Amino acid sequence: MPPRGLDLPIAALVEAALTGFAVIRRLAYDMTYAIDVERISIGLRTLRGEYIDATVFVHPVGHADYRPESVWDRINDPDTWFLPCEIDGESQLVRSSSISYIVMTEPPPEVESLDSVGAIRAPAELWLKSNDRLKGELLYEAERGEERVSDMLNRTSGRFLVLVAGETTYFVQCDAIDRVSL
């Protein structure tokens, strides 16, 4: 008997009808779970100081505002505990809390989006638990009267912040920051 709820291509169903259900059983066990993903190249630094070249898998459609999911969306999603990546040719899940920062190899859409709404750019140097120091501009939105970096750091709801240094964009985990120099 074929497994219930299994969607099989029409050709497989016809073949099964002609040859018996052995084909369906074989197909059911050979199938792997796969979803449509977009691949985005990143670099990531762990809290232990390891640098990893990786490719992150994000959803190409289906975000709440009908745009493709971005790395920023994925890492700040409160339901994402592990970041799905390809590292050295293998699919791996990287625990989000073990990431110090992510280096975007291509400009992410968040920078243009934040700039277009007049987000604040505040010069800062971040001292991280991974023994790295990153210098650039923190890019963030703020309510009137709460524009200071300290206001943003104390009230941010996201796990990661945007730091822009020239053409390079970093997504820095808040919990990875030891100190901030302004």
Q: At which of 51, 77, 103 does a domain end?
A: 103
Assess if residue 4 is contained within a domain: no
pLDDT per position as a tens digit, 20-45: 434 334 444 444 556 678 999 999 99
Verify that 65 and 122 share a domain, yes or no: no
Can you give the CATH number for the domain in which 118 is found?
2.30.30.100
Segment 52-75 shows an average pLDDT of 84
What pLDDT score was predicted for residue 15?
46
The sheet with strand 160-165 has its strands ordered as 90-95, 82-87, 51-58, 38-46, 99-104, 168-173, 160-165, 133-140, 120-128, 177-181
- The domain that holds 92 is classified in CATH as 2.30.30
Model pTM? 0.79
